[in-house]
């Protein structure tokens, strides 16, 4: 490892010179393949922290799919149902626990994960590498790689795939610094520990948090800790299913993340599972087509005859009434917010996506209204007392 590393350019090609350097000693990350850029390293270092915390909190292998310094997906290695394997397009593979975690992280929002940067909590094995090999991805960071996994990953992007190895023993200085417009900012690192102790202050009538909900709330909050704020995260079954990042309004976060969670659930509808795709359709085109099929734009696709580009026969329409009926089956979803909900409208939107458990800091002057809205729907809500802004 070295003390500094020159980069092609910064966030944009005109931002030169660019480099990363260690404040003390050597860099904790080693480039095994490829030529990583400025944003690659920002994604890698944030995503690495996320998966390390997920593994520490749950004891399970963890993975994250990062895009533009926010996670598109994050998950731990909870076994998947046959339906999930099918909608994540891994039903042809025998997955290791680590590969399961990445399949979940990648599968939550495949549109956003296109060209992702991957983080793994454990040594990358052959099965995880084979899964990554067939996805469009910019790079990966992990604590190590088996010989076969490294061989597979080096074959991606005509040999130019970025592969980073992180030093697991590295511990950064407790004070972090950055510059903006020539001005240096300094703050203590956000080392808040996220665990079940955060869910003891429960002001709602419903007070029970099942073990799975506690796990999912922990996943949600750790994910938010490394998501550009404002942010909200819906989680279920050991993974994030909808992340709303970087919105100026809290309700817009809740809507954005809720819409993504709805799409995740609609992809499990029998009509979506049975779509008659042509055998030669590319994976990104298939993902885009599913997204359009679920959306209201599909009527335009039918009207213009574009469906012939993707399907062997014209699929049945998934009607609005069918979508609403299917979404009514969503239940048991957990929701975390990086700051307090100022109004009950966030709860109303969350309820539409099956949210049953919520963790948020509390402290709004309208907490009473938020609690009242939760009570209306028998939602259990914990006030964590911690804010998780990340910029």
Helix (H, G, I), strand (E, B) or coil at 49: helix
Query: Residue holding tokens 């809740």?
Result: 254
Query: Is 154 considered catalytic here?
Result: no
Query: Is 376 considered catalytic here?
Result: no
**Closest C-alpha to 103, from 112, 111, 91, 115:** 91
Chain centre to alpha carbon of residue 260: 11
Query: Residue holding tokens 């510059």?
Result: 179
Query: Residue holding tokens 């458990």?
Result: 357
Query: Is 391 considered catalytic here?
Result: yes
Which of the following is catalytic: 55, 67, 85, 351?
67
d(CA 383, CA 376): 18
Cβ pair 336, 362 in contact under 8 A? no
Query: Residue holding tokens 């990966």?
Result: 140
Cβ pair 362, 383 in contact under 8 A? yes
Which of the following is catalytic: 14, 158, 304, 391?
391
Which of the following is catalytic: 33, 40, 46, 230?
230
Query: Is 390 considered catalytic here?
Result: no
Which of the following is catalytic: 68, 154, 271, 390?
68
Other C-beta atoms closer than 10 Å to the C-beta of 231 total 28
d(CA 107, CA 118): 13
- For the annotated catalytic residues, the residue numbers are 67-68, 230, 391
């Amino acid at each position: 490892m070295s003390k500094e590393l020159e980069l092609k350019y910064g966030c944009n090609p005109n931002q030169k010179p660019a480099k990363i350097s260690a404040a003390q000693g050597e860099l904790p990350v080693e480039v095994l393949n490829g030529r990583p850029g400025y944003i690659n390293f920002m994604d890698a270092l944030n995503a690495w922290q996320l998966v390390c915390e997920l593994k520490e909190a749950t004891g399970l292998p963890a993975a994250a799919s990062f895009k533009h310094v926010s996670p598109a997906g994050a998950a731990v290695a909870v076994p998947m149902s046959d339906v999930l394997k099918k909608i994540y397009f891994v039903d042809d593979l025998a997955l290791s626990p680590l590969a399961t975690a990445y399949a979940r992280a990648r599968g939550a929002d495949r549109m956003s994960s296109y060209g992702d940067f991957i983080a793994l909590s454990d040594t990358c094995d052959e099965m995880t590498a084979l899964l990554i090999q067939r996805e469009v991805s910019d790079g990966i960071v992990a604590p190590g790689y088996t010989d076969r996994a490294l061989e597979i990953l080096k074959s991606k992007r005509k040999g130019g795939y970025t592969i980073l190895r992180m030093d697991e023993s590295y511990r950064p200085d407790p004070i972090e610094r950055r510059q903006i417009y020539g001005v240096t900012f300094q703050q203590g690192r956000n080392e808040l520990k996220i665990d079940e102790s955060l869910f003891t202050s429960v002001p709602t009538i419903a007070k029970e948090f099942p073990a799975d909900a506690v796990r999912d709330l922990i996943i949600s909050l750790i994910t938010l800790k490394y998501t550009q704020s404002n942010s909200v995260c819906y989680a279920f079954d050991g993974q994030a299913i909808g992340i709303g990042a970087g919105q100026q309004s809290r309700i817009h976060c809740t809507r954005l993340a809720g819409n993504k969670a709805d799409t995740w659930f609609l992809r499990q509808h029998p009509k979506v599972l049975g779509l008659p795709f042509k055998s030669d359709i590319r994976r990104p085109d298939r993902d885009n087509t599913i997204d359009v099929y679920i959306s209201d734009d599909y009527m335009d696709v039918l009207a213009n005859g574009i469906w012939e580009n993707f399907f062997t026969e014209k699929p049945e329409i998934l009607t609005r009434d069918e979508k609403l009926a299917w979404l009514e089956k969503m239940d048991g979803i957990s929701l975390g917010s990086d700051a307090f909900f100022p109004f009950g409208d966030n709860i109303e939107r969350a309820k539409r996506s099956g949210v049953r458990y919520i963790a948020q800091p509390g402290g709004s002057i309208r907490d009473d209204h938020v609690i009242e809205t939760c009570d209306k729907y028998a939602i259990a809500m914990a006030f964590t007392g911690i804010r998780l802004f990340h910029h």
